[in-house]
Copies of this chain bind each other. A is one copy, B any other.
């Protein structure tokens, strides 16, 4: 058996009294708080993405030497863990509507909006679930949306996962477009303008009847960036239909 992960104490620092009131401590007064560090990291990640968040850059933003950050956080991975929990804590969780459809949709839409507001959440990988207080709060809130509607425990988890992963997926597709634009420095339209000629030449003799027709239609429909939500609406409609039908098949007369 190994030692427990020290990041746990940091994650729960605001809810564990013994950690919160540090009392009189030796050494120089810290220039900033851990909250400041994590907030600044979130700010930079919001602006430039998680990959562009460097320890040096963060330190400079806080007017600190690079290595000073390591008094607050053991390593970059732990910083990301703290960022995730802290940013989840910012959104106040709305109450669950009485209408079941609205309740289920809200779970997915909240996830979608949060990933839109903080796209770097989509870049986070390798993080053990169930770590921080706000992550736990969030899971509890999500489960409350599907509590008492006729699902067993495993199905509750599956339903939440389905809704959450769909909201995340739509946000990810949207973010992929923006990431490609940022990386190449040109919008989709500009890329097409610059490449459609070469693409036509290179694809000469290869037909994609469906992809050509549908891709064009979808491309035009999604021209207005705000219309990305149509995909969210469509998929969410189908998913919730499916979930409600599943419940109805269990205990007819409800829902």
Interface residues of A (CB under 8 A from B): 1-5, 8-9, 11-12, 15-16, 77, 123, 125-130, 133, 136, 139-140, 143-144, 147, 152-159, 161-162, 165-166, 168-170, 172-173, 176, 179-180, 182-184, 186, 188, 190-191, 193-195, 197-199, 202-204, 206, 208-211, 213-215, 217-218, 221, 230-231, 234-235, 237-243, 245-246
Contacts and interface: CB of A to CB of B under 8 A. Distances in A.
Nearest to A203: B12
A169 B160 CA distance: 13
B231 A127 contact: no
A155 B230 CA distance: 10
Chain multiplicity (copies): 2
A136 B203 CA distance: 10
Contact of A194 (B1, B12, B211): B1
A128 B169 contact: no
Contacts of A139: 208, 211, 215
A109 to B, nearest CB: 16
A9 to B, nearest CB: 6
A246 B242 CA distance: 10
Contact of A202 (B3, B16, B188): B16
Contacts of A166: 162, 165-166, 169
A130 B126 CA distance: 29
A169 B179 contact: no
